[in-house]
Structure formats: C-alpha cells, structure tokens
Structure 1
Amino acid sequence: MNKSWNVCFCTAAFVAASLSASSAFAGPLVNQLGYYPDAEKTVVFPGNDANGLEVRDLKGKTVLKLKAPLVYDWDYSGEEVQTFDISAVKAPGTYRLFRGGEYVGTPIVVGKNVYGDLVKASLKWFYYQRSSMALEPQYAGKWARAAGHKDDHVIVYGSDKATGGKGAGKTIKSQRGWYDAGDYGKYIVNSGITVFTLLEIYEHFPKYVDSLKWNIPREFPKYPELLEEVRYNLDWMLTMQDKDGGVYHKVSTLKFGGSVLPENDIAPRYAIIKNVTASLDFAAVMAQASVVYRNIDKAYADKMLKAAESAYAWAKKNPEAFYKQPDDVQTGSYMPGDENGKDEFRWAAAELFRAKVAAGAKADKATAAYQEDLKANAFTPDGAWWGNVNMLAAFRVALDSANFDAELVAAAKKVVLNEANNLRAVGDTSAYRLPAFPWSWNWGSNSAMANNGIVLVHAYLLTKDKSYLDGAQQCLDYLLGKNPQDITYVTGFGYRSPHNPHHRPSESDMVDDPVPGMLVGGPHLGKQDINLDGKENWKCPNYAAADKPALAYIDNRCSYATNEVAINWNAPLAYLAAALEAIYLGIPK
C-alpha cells in the first residue's frame, strides 16, 4: 500500500501542543474499549474547566454527578488536566459524559469481555509475523501473503569471504520463528522476553487461555492455540544452538532491507555470533517452556530442558563472551551498553532450577547448583525489558515459593512489591494516574507502560490487593486512549488508532488497513528518525517540537522510533489485557 512518507495522522498531541496550558479541552480522554464493572475508571480532561461532570445512560438518566476536581500539571505533556474518578458506575451499559450540560467526548462502555477481542488480536499478530511459511487466506484474510525467508541455508557469520572468512561459508537451517519487528530479522534476545511473557499468560491464566480461539493453522491440535503459536518460535530458537551449546545472536541480513514483502527480501541471511547473553536467554526460555509443555508433550519438554542445560553450561564456560556488533552488520544489536550478564544468569538459573524440579530431578548437586548460582547473584530492583531481565527472575521465584529457598522467595517478593509500590505511588499522584517513571519514556515507551502493568499484576497475584490491579488498569487505559494523543496505540481498536505503522508487510501489501492488534512503540524524545538537519529527506518531520515526551509521536511509516511494532511490545499488551479479562471474569487458574 503506497502510504505517503509525508502524511501525518493529526492527533490531539498537535492540538495540545498549540493550546496554552490553561485552555479548556473539548473532549475527555478515556479507555476507548471500555471498563469492567468493578474496575477503577478514570477520565482525564485537559484544561481547567470549572464545570463538574455528569455521567448519563443512553436514556438520558444521570447515574453519577461529580464536582470539578483539582487541576494538576502533567510534566510529560505540559498540560493542565482534571481527572474524574467514575468508578461508581458499575452497571453494564453505554454511557455519555456531560459538562456544563453539553455532551462531550465519545461513549464509555462498562461490561464484561471488553478486552476479549483485543487479547485475541494481539496474540494472533504473532501468526502474521511468521517467517518461512505462506499466510493462507483462510487464516490471514486480506493480509495473506507468500512465504518469505525459508532460511534453509543461513550462513554462519565469519565463515564466508563476504564476512571475513576464507571459505564459501558454513550454513545452518534456521527455519520458522517470528519476524522481530518492522524488519525481517529474527533475534534470540528479544524472542527470550517475548516468549517468557506469552508463557506467563498461560501459566497464570490457563483456563482462560484454553477458552480462546483465533483461527491459526493447527500442527499440534492437542495444544492450546497459544502454545501452538509459541512453539513456532521455540522451534526456530532450537535451530540457533550450536553443537557446543552456545547460541547464535540472530538471523538477519547484513543491512536492513527495504519496504518490501518478505518474499522480495532476498539478500543473504546470516547466523551471527554465539554469545553469553543469547545463550542464557535461550536457556531461561527453554527451561520455562519445558515446564509449561511437560504435561502435553513430554518428549518436546525433555528436548528443551536438555538444550537449556547445554546453553547454560556454555555460558558458564564463556562468561565474558558478550555480543559485539560487527562493523559490517547494521541490523538490530540487542545489546545494552552496560551488559555484564548477571541478570541473564539470574533468570536462567531460576528457570533451570524450577524446570529440573518439575522434571522430577533428585535434589542432587547438579540440580542444587542452579539455586546456589541464584543465591550468589542477588536480585536488583531493575527491569523488565529485553536489556535487563532481572525482574523475570524475581517474578519466577516470588510466585513459586514451594520450590525455592525461603530466603530467595522473600528477596524476590521484596523486589516485586517494592517496584509495584513505587509504581502505584506515582500513579496515585499523577495527573493522568499513570504508573510511569521518567525512564519509561524511551524507545518503545508503550511497552514500558505495559510492562509496568505486568509488575502490578504480579503484585496483585502475590497479595490480592486490588490497588495493584487498579494501577495495572491505568496502564492499559493509557494504551487504549487515555493519553494526550487521544488514540489507542493498537491498530484496529478504539475510535481512533494508528493507520501507518513502521512495518514492512503493512507498507508493501497494498491493503489500506494495517493488521489489527499491533501495539506501536509510542512517544518519546529520542528523535532518532527526525530530519533535524534537513539533509536527509527520507526522515520524519519534527513531530517532537514541543520537547514533551508524551507528545512526541507521529502516525507515519517514517517513524521507526515511535510507530514501529515489535514482538516484545505486543507480548506485554497481550498479558496485561488477558490478565484483567481473566481476573475480572473470575476464571480460576
């Protein structure tokens, strides 16, 4: 679809940027999909209007009347805003908001299953990201496409003359897997946290997940559909392990390809550099998956556990073998500048100890060694994102008190609950009620908001304290419309949503609508894609002129910094929406 490089989706951000902080704003900012009856429900009005708020049903009956609240400044957008709490509205139905006797905004829905379609679409998107296979119309609809990247002759980097080797190039078969983001690379590090998050949905809410259907091809009909989809990527990850146990970092071309369909991206692909980070992320995920799949496919679970142990052993032998991006490789590096491997060792050790216990291993030295490694590598108050997976280890240990040492469990719970308490304190005092730290406003800020919500859900699962669930709700509300852009950040959902994501299949498939269920990266002030010097006309216009992070977004395919999509962003969206659905529906584990 030849989406224009210069078409800008005009959102409330541009309106807000042009208004003074004291100007009244015509419409409220709300969760455009709706709320569960018992959920916390807040509505934000930019401005300082003295009028109160009336909530009326569709028959015109006033069901709630509130006085004007205090006016708060929100530094992230430079706005004055007023936030109304309408949580008292619990009866299922559709409601309208009135101020000064006039109807404002869009209808608000209260009811059950308000996020069900979102959960299924956000999970089905992984099918649309499949490499090495054609997407058939009966499953993909109008987004059907031919197969791309068979990856049956992937060159091991450095073994061919093009990358400094002497020979024709050693090759491996590295088929299946998901395209990572808007590009066609496949990356172990980002797959790690993505698969963890998706498997966490199943571990925490299995009966809810078992009830979901979203129409994907079935190779393993005894699997729940979520585990069918995840296996497609696990199978690829297994191909990335070398005979010595080490795991290659990624499969990609040497440079990003153009905006073409997968079948037309035909440059040579490479398996690039074994390293400790990829090996440990692989070990953690394979160990976790061996637990999840054990009751439905023991042989596959045993295979993954063996692979996990081998990868961990390789990392122990090569603790300083960190990934360094070669000069001739320009695809994603997925390596933070401060990498020391401690968080990956922490996560892998936690998952392997649990997996060995789940597999019936005796309490021998080999099994105990994983827990001893964990004891010697204390939890830190960091994460979770692909660059720091400490919190994933804390989640595992905190919620698995039956298997781990009591002191470890106490330390993990402290880390999770301290982070959740800090987030909730910010949310309770924020103009938008958003539990977000200053460092949440970075590349992929929307995933940071979703991951903040996941921390709060884990705190709820540990304590059953509803205030944590309320905080998680506010994170989802932000993603679904209660933000200065006045849009949902998910394609195909809500009254207003992105239409021009930075996503090569969407840019080249001749279909006007993007695939539904994609969470775009979100606003921040990195400005990596802005044409600041005027010399590169392919870059974006300056959408961040206001220098306010919550306003720095543009719905344009040029914006890889704010409007790209990625598997590690969709996974926490799916978890957050699924958690609220399952918990509020009262579906037991």
Structure 2
Amino acid sequence: MKKGILSLIVVLQLSITGFTVNAQTNSWVRINLLGYKPGSSKVAVWCSKAQTPVTDFSIADAVTGKTVYTAKVEKTFGGYGPFTLTARLNFSNFTKPGRYIIKAGAATSSAFTIGAGVYKGSADFCLRYLRQQRSGFNPFLKDSCHTHDGYTLYGPMPDSTRIDASGGWHDASDYLQYVTTSANATWHLLAAYRDFPKVFGDGHQANGLPGSNNRADVLDEARWGLNWLLKMHPRSNWMFNQIADDRDHQGMRIPKEDSFYGRGYERPVYFCTSTPQGFGKYKNRSTGLASTAGKFASAFALGYQLFKDPLLQDRALSAWALGVDKPGVCQTAPGRSPYFYEEDNWADDMELAGASIAAMNGSKKHLTAAYAYSKEETITPWLGKDTARHYQWYPFINLGHYELAKQLQGQQRKELISYYKQGIERVWQKARQNAFYRGVPFIWCSNNLTTSFAMQCYWYRKLTGDVSYSELEQACFDWLFGCNPWGTAMVYGLPASGDTPVDPHSAFTHLKQYPIDGGLVDGPVYGAIYKSLIGITLNEPDEYADFQSDLVVYHDDYGDYSTNEPTMDGTASLVYLLAAKEADQSKMYNGPSAIHKAEGDTFTAFIYVHGGITRGDARQKQLAIVFTGDEYNGDIHNIGRTLQINKVKASFFLTGRFYRNKENKQPIYTLKKQGHYLGPHSDQHLLYCDWSRRDSLLVTKEQFVQDLDSNYAAMQQYGISRKNARFFLPPFEWYNDSIAAWTRQQGLQLVNFTPGTYSNADYTTPDMKNYRSSIAIMDSIRAFEKRNKTGLNGFILLFHVGVHPSRTDRFARQLPALIAWLHSEKYILTTIDKLIK
C-alpha cells in the first residue's frame, strides 16, 4: 500500500542525508504533515510505550542533517490511548523557513515544512471532493446520475407527485441528499469566499469541468448548492428536507439511476411537516421547521450578498417566516434502520438566519430577533461533553454568534464573544489534560467536530485579538493532519507526500480505484462505539494496529464505515478552515505557550494521565509515599509509628467514612500532629467509571460534587479545609478525564499512583488471580528502580492503611525495610504537596 512506500521513501531520504534511523519500536514523534507557518504555534507530540520520559528534543535540517534547534520538554503527560507516556514538544519560537525533522530520544519524526505558503492551494484542493459528490451532472465521471428525482412524500400534494429535485451533492459515500448538511455546506463555501477571496483560484467552469469562467471555483460550487436548495424550497410555503432514505444502503456502486425505490428511477423527496417521519417502523423526532428553515434562510441570504440574485433574497425571507411560524427541529427521516441525523437544536439556525438577513438588507428587526435567539443557545451543548448522539447538535458550533457579533457593539457584542470563550474553556479543561490537547469527543464524525471547534477558536481570536487559545486552535488543526496517535492525515491525498487515507469507505476508491482527493474522513471513534457497531469487518491487516486502544480507534479500511467514510459537509467546513489558515497573517504565537500563560499555569515536568498527575518531576530524586483508607484500618497505628521512628512524612487520602469512624479519630489526630498530609478520597468510595469502558461515567457531576463535599465536611472536624488539602486521590484509583475536569472545577488537583511498581497491589488477597505477596511487591519496586533510567524519581508510591483480614501478609510490616532501602538509594521522601508544587 501507499503507506509502506512512503515510509520507505522517508527512510531512504534520511539515509541519504546522513541520518541514522532507529527502529521505532516503542516511541514516535507526531507532527502536522502539512506543515507550520513561521508565526504560528508549533508543537509536536512525543508518544511512547515505555516508562522513561523524554527530557529534551532537537530539530535538524532535513537536507544537511545539521541540528538547528534544541529545547527542553516543557510538559510531560502520562498515558493516552495506546501510549504509556506522552509529551508536547513546543518549538513555536523556531521560525526559520525550511524542511526539518524532530528527534526526541530514540524517536524521529517525518519530515515537515515551516513556511509562509505551507497551506497554499489546500482549500482549492478540497473542492475536488465536492465536485466529485455532485448529483445530476457529475464532472468527475463526466456523466449524469439521479436525474429523475423525485416523487413527494408527506407533502400537501398527493404522495408520489413528480417534482424536479435533481442536483446538489451526495451526502457521503452513500447517495442520500439532505438540506440539513447541504445548506450548511453551502453556507461555509460562501463564507469562505466572502472572508478569504484571494485564496481561491478559477480552474473550473460552473459545471465543474476544467476551464475558466471568471468566477472562483468555490463560488461555482456554492452556486451548485444554492441551485439545489432553491429546488427544495420551490414555493414560499413549501420546503423539502431530503432525497432518498437508507434503502440506498444496498451495496457499493458508482452513482447512477437507482431503481429500488418503487417508482422507476425516481427517488422519494421528503416534505418538511414539523411532525415525525420515517419510511418504515422507525421514525424521527421532528417538532418544527426552524432547524431546516434557518439553514435555508442563512444560505440564501449570504448567497444574495455574493450573487445579487433576487430569488435568493425572496427565499431567504420566506424560509425565515416558516422558521418563525414553526419553531422546533426538522430531523432527517430514517428508512429501514434506526439511524438518522438526530438534530436537537434549532435556535442557533434561526440566530444565523436572522444575522445573515440583517447583513443582507440592513434589517434591524432581524438583527433584534437574532440576538433574542442567541440567548436560547449560548453554548453549543456538546462542548466539554464526553459524547453526543449522531449530529445531535448541528451545525457543530454556533455559527450565528460570529455573524451577529460582527454587527453588534457594546455589551451585546461582549456577551456573544463570552459565549464562544465559555465553550472553548469547557473543551480546554478536558484538552489540557493530555498531550494532544484533545477535548473533542470521539463520536461519529469527530473530525467534523474538530474542524468546527478550530473555527470557533479562530473566530474568537479574530473577534478579540486574544491568542490565549491559539495553541488549542492549532492542536485541533494539527490533529487533522497527522499529529494524532496514528500519525496520519485525515484528508485523502493531502498532503501529497504524507500518510493519508488510501482505502476509505467509498465506492469510488473501492470499486474503481478513483482518487477522492480532498475528502475529509469521519475520524476516530471511541473503542466502545466501534465495538458496538454492526456490519464492520476489516478487509486487510490493520496497519495502525499498534496504535489502536480501548479509548479510540481509527482504521484506513473501506470496511470501517464509522471512522473512514468521507463526508461532504465536513469537507466544506474544512474548506473554510484551510482558507482561513492560508490567509491568516496574524502571529498566533505570543511567547512561551500563551495558552498556559493566560491560564496562570507554569510548566512542570509532571506526568498527567487523563488529567490526573501520576508522577512528579523525574529530574528530582524525591518521591511521595501515600496511603489510602476506607473500610479497613488495621495497619494505621503501625504505619504511623514506623513513619515517626524513621522521621518520614507521608500522605494519607481517606474517605469520609474513614474520617467519621470513631476508631480512627485518635490515629488521624496523631498523623496530623506529626505533620503528615491528610486529603480526600471521596466520601462513600464510589466507582466513578466503568472498569472496561473508562469513558463511561457511572456518576453524574452533581453526585460527584455532593460526595466530595461530604468528604470535606468529615475532614472539617480535624481542622482540615480545602485550602490546605487541595489534592484529591480518587476512590479505587480509577477515574477519567471528566472526573479530573470536575475536580479542577472544584479548585482541586487530582493525583494518582505512579504505575509500574505494583505497590498498590498490597490490598490483594490469596484468593485473587492478581495476588502479590509483600516480598513480591518489594522485589517489584526494586526491580523497577534498577531498570529505569530515572528510577523512582517523582514517584507516587501508593499503599493502603488497612486490608481485608484474609490477607495476613501485610505490607505494613515491610514498610521499615522499604524506607531504609529508599534512604540508602538517596531518595528524599516527602509529602504530595511538596512533591507537586
């Protein structure tokens, strides 16, 4: 396959230029394969399956092999997906144009470019996919398809009435067509030209064939979309929502005249009724017209501004009126399966429509109405969440806030900007916990969400001049082009010299080996989602097998329709983002990691896993011994005496139940008097997330906060407050990024044990399969220290203050020997608050 060939070329190039390429069996460097602008944020991600963190990295000229830049690793994170350690390699202040390679430890990156023109032509490149998706006359095939569309369903006219609805774009690798996605795509194409006209070329005619027509290709494509939308809103009181249904899914085929809908070559055209619809037993949950009407109106209004076609102006106003008259969602209709676009929001569509009409004709009435709609959905609901239903919140960001903020002043403008910032901050609280800065959920079309969220960050930056989130913005963009666990770009054929999809879920590639240049594939999904889907079978060995995980998977295999299917609307959004990146001349980088600077963070060498700190500074020969307690307390007296005799300070994380237990009162007071750290471990020792599906929460945020508050209330009797106990160790030592984010929102920092030594196995009993004796645990700690370059530096060694009575071999008896050995190895034993400053 192409990927193997590209890898061979890179290896040969490196050999020719004098590089020695180490066999990268356990560490990798991921970069943006498309490249970086000199003034942008520039970060690569180092990933490893080993336990030794990387401390520095270098950049070498890809031609001469000469080292041109060296730097320390600013922040090390813990595991992510298949990796045990990760780190961000920030080289933003290296701005010299050229072709380079990054080396960190034994890992070497692919070659990449720094230059002002790295994104030049990329937006136009993605238009190739839109032209290939055309229904009616298809310029790629130089043939026509679906010219008999269609016959009506659900309308005021008799069912099976013939109307002309040919044209538009196929939605994805199937040939369904939706106003929902097509109007959104059309708006993005129009906005891309309006905002960045100099980016686009004129290499094609209006029909998509090669040639010039003195109009930018992006406008030709947008006009193609508008023409179809006009057919779908042919009268002021008629709106249609989709063509065809999932009877389409009868096998892969090159688009043609489909004959399996019962009316010759005609396909059904679904009328917008504001009530539930569905061809078979499955129905959608439609409640109104506004979600579709708003999309119609905004596309027509922006289209009028660029084309000055009176019919577009007229249809913008009629669609608006229908949306005002029937608020609610107009969802797509399912057929034989229960899958459909489950859009649950509509106020954002009407806000964008009102703002677009106001920009079209200066109407204060529509501007006022748009502002009122903005209050109904201030923050797009998926932002900061772990999951959402398929297209539940669509478009994936609130486009109306940007269009409205440009027209308003004063407090109203500030409010709209604050909505964007609040949404970004919600994602940032999750993203900041991992090296890839991923805060976007891995649901179907995660790449589309990523593209849209990067746009929201971009618009916020443009509206305010604030670069605080520029590194997050760039990280989303970098993810799409190779800075991800798999090291692959997510756009077919872009960049030409990089690893990109070659076997997508597409009839064009699978049946005819036609390239689908510029198509953005759906993107990675949670492992749990992938495992639950029906009908997915990989047809070739998985070239990314080493990088799949329970957290998230991605396959470049046409059999995986969940991660590797290109979409028309996602690609249209990417056209806007790529145009913005090409045109942007502003300096996104403003000193060392502006995003941390804005948040008040300082760089540390701490290791983070799912947002929890699991290791202190590996450069310092110190560690923390911590104990947790809940139900059992049998060793607390012996532990306290051992620590006092050896003049060692430790940390104790205890549940509310433990603090309230009368038997524990005196030893807790003694520990506090001796200067040990006392912190929370939850009140009732709840299990926060599923053992096998870590992303699956078992508690709500309200339950989490209430339980934690109760833990602190129990600590108050000992004079311990949040102020002097800001570190939290979760029950069962098991959590996910949501728990870590909720912890931070409470003003606390989640910590957990450092994996590798099996110290925490001191709770196991002989009847358990994972039982480890105290001697085995001691041997494991010593063995780990010897085989790792940084030993136990920064380690959080976790034990328990009590264990089940059936475990008679208690590790507390080994504690004196452990402390003596650690002292002999020159380790400083400290408390958690001093280890993590």
> TM-score, normalising length from structure 1?
0.80
- 1:258 maps to amino acid: G
2:174 is aligned to: 183
Q: What is the match of residue 119 of structure 1?
A: 123
Matches within 5 A, 1:152-231: 153-157=149-153, 169-209=160-200, 212-217=201-206, 221=213, 223-231=215-223
How far apart are 1:50 and its partner, in Å? 4.2
Distance 1:319-1:293 versus aligned 2 partners, 3 A rule: closer
Deviation at 1:538, TM superposition (A): 5.8
Aligned partner of 1:288 among 283, 286, 298: 298
Unaligned runs of 5+ in 2: 8-23, 262-266, 275-285, 384-390, 588-837
Once residues 146 and 257 of structure 2 are traced to their aligned partners in structure 1, the CA distance between those partners, rounded to angstroms, is 9
- Give 2:147's aligned residue: 150
Q: Is the 8 A contact 2:506 2:558 kept in 1?
A: yes
The equivalent of 1:496 in structure 2 is: 499
Letter in 1 for 2:220: E
SS of the aligned residue for 2:143 comes to coil
Change (3 A) 1:10 1:479: farther
- TM-score using structure 2 length: 0.57
Deviation at 1:537, TM superposition (A): 8.3
The structure-2 alpha-carbon separation of the partners of 1:492 and 1:435, relative to structure 1 and needing over 3 Å to count, comes to same
Note if contact 1:26-1:105 (Cα within 8 Å) is conserved in structure 2.
Answer: no
In the other structure, the counterpart of 1:467 is: 468
Q: Deviations over 1:402-446 (max 9, x none)?
A: 6xxx554333211112222333454444312x2424xx2100111
Residue 297 of structure 1 is matched in structure 2 by 307
Residue type matched to 1:333 in 2? Answer: F
How far does residue 483 in structure 1 lie from its aligned partner after superposition?
0.7
- Percent identity for Structure 1 against Structure 2: 21
Tell me which of 99, 119, 137 is aligned to 1:133: 137
> CA separation in 1, counterparts of 2:500 and 2:324?
46
Q: Distance in 2 between matches of 1:188 and 1:121?
A: 24
1:79 aligns with one of 81, 84, 89: 84
> Which residue identity does 1:205 align to in structure 2?
F
**In 1, Cα distance between equivalents of 2:243 and 2:585:** 40
The alpha-carbon deviation at position 103 of structure 1 amounts to 7.5
What root-mean-square deviation, in Å, do the aligned CA atoms of Structure 1 and Structure 2 show? 3.7
Q: 2:242 aligns with which of 247, 250, 272?
A: 250
CA gap 1:559/1:10 in 2 versus in 1, 3 angstroms: farther
Distance in 1 between the 2:127 and 2:424 partners?
Answer: 26
Q: Tell whether the 8 Å contact from 2:298 to 2:352 is kept in structure 1 after alignment.
A: no
- Contact 2:241 2:332 survives alignment (8 Å): no
- The corresponding residue for 1:348 is 350
Aligned pairs (5 A) from 1:444-523: 444-494=445-495, 495-511=498-514, 514-523=515-524
Q: CA deviation at 1:370?
A: 3.2
Kept in 1, the 8 Å contact 2:129–2:519? The answer is yes
User: Which range moves more in the overlay, 175-184 or 23-32?
Assistant: 23-32
Q: 2:252 aligns with which of 236, 239, 259?
A: 259
How far does residue 481 in structure 1 lie from its aligned partner after superposition? 0.7
Match for residue 98 of structure 2 among 81, 93, 97? 93
Contact 1:183 1:257 in 2 (8 A): no
Kindly indicate whether residue 88 of structure 2 is the aligned counterpart of residue 63 of structure 1: no
- How far did residue 398 of structure 1 move? 2.1
Measured after TM superposition, the shift of residue 249 of structure 1 is 1.8
Rounded Cα–Cα distance in structure 1 between residues aligned with 2:375 and 2:28: 54
Q: Does the 8 Å contact 1:519/1:565 carry over to 2?
A: yes
Q: For residues 486 and 239 of structure 1, do their structure 2 counterparts lie closer, same or farther at Cα, with a shift above 3 Å needed?
A: same
Is 1:233 the counterpart of 2:225? The answer is yes
Which segment is superposed worse, 372-381 or 54-63? 372-381
What is the DSSP-based 3-state SS (H/G/I as helix, E as strand, rest coil) of the residue aligned with 1:249?
strand
Is residue 2:261 matched to residue 1:272?
no
Give, in whole Å, the separation in 2 of the partners of 1:367 and 1:207: 30
CA distance in 2, matches of 1:518, 1:172: 31
Aligned partner of 1:267: which letter? F
CA contact under 8 A between 1:476 and 1:577: conserved in structure 2? no
1:351-430 alignment runs, 5 A limit: 351-356=353-358, 358-361=360-363, 363=364, 367=366, 370-371=369-370, 374=373, 377=376, 379-382=378-381, 387-389=393-395, 391-401=398-408, 406-430=410-434
Instruction: Specify whether residues 227 and 286 from structure 1 end up closer, same or farther in structure 2 by C-alpha distance, changes over 3 A only.
Output: farther
Cα drift, residue 453 of structure 1: 0.6
SS in 2 for 1:489: coil
Cα drift, residue 470 of structure 1: 2.9
Residues 154 and 271 in structure 1, CA contact (< 8 A), matched pair in contact too: yes
The counterpart of 2:340, out of the listed 322, 333, 338, is: 333
SS of the aligned residue for 1:470 comes to helix
Q: Deviation per CA, 1:433-475: give whole Å up to 9, x if none.
A: x2424xx210011111111211100111111223333322111
C-alpha separation in 1, matches of 2:417 and 2:75: 36
Q: Using the alignment, how far apart are the partners of 1:580 and 1:497 within structure 2?
A: 20
* DSSP-derived class of the 2:525 partner: coil
Contact 1:484 1:550 in 2 (8 A): no
Distance 2:5 2:559 in 1: 15
Most deviating of 306-315 and 450-459:
306-315
State the AA in 2 paired with 1:312. Answer: W
User: Could you tell me which residue of structure 2 aligns to residue 564 of structure 1?
Assistant: 565
Give the whole-Å Cα distance in 2 for the aligned partners of 1:226 and 1:561: 28
Question: Structure 1's 352 and 549: CA in aligned 2 closer, same or farther, altered over 3 A?
Answer: farther
Contact 1:523 1:550 in 2 (8 A): no
**Using a 3 Å threshold, how does the CA distance of structure 1 residues 532 and 52 change in structure 2: closer, same or farther?**
same
Partner residue of 2:812?
none
For residues 112 and 129 of structure 2, what CA distance do their matches in structure 1 show? 27
Q: Mark the structure with the bigger radius of gyration.
A: 2
